[in-house]
Amino acid sequence: MAAPDKQYSLTPSDSPCVALCSTLYDDVCRGCGRTTLEVANWVFLDEEEKLRIWQRIKSEGYPHRN
């Protein structure tokens, strides 16, 4: 498994949720960058699936932490 993200000291198991949930205009949360299905199924995903999601959302500039 990949090393934790040094900027936030997170592991793939950690949820990217930043409690800024909003999916008003599409299926992507404006806070964490996950799709509604990814949010709903997060607890059921394996570490590899979570890591892929983390890599994608980070490459897209998420999660938005204030």
Q: Using alpha carbons only, give the angle 63, 5, 55 rounded to the nearest 5 degrees.
A: 55
Average per-residue pLDDT for the chain: 82
pLDDT digits (tens, 9 = 90+) for 46-65: 999 999 999 999 999 998 87
- What is the total count of domains within the chain? 1
Domain, as residue range, for 23: 19-66
Tell me, yes or no, whether 66 lies in a domain: yes
Q: What pTM value is reported for the model?
A: 0.75
Under 8 Å between Cβ of 65 and 18: yes
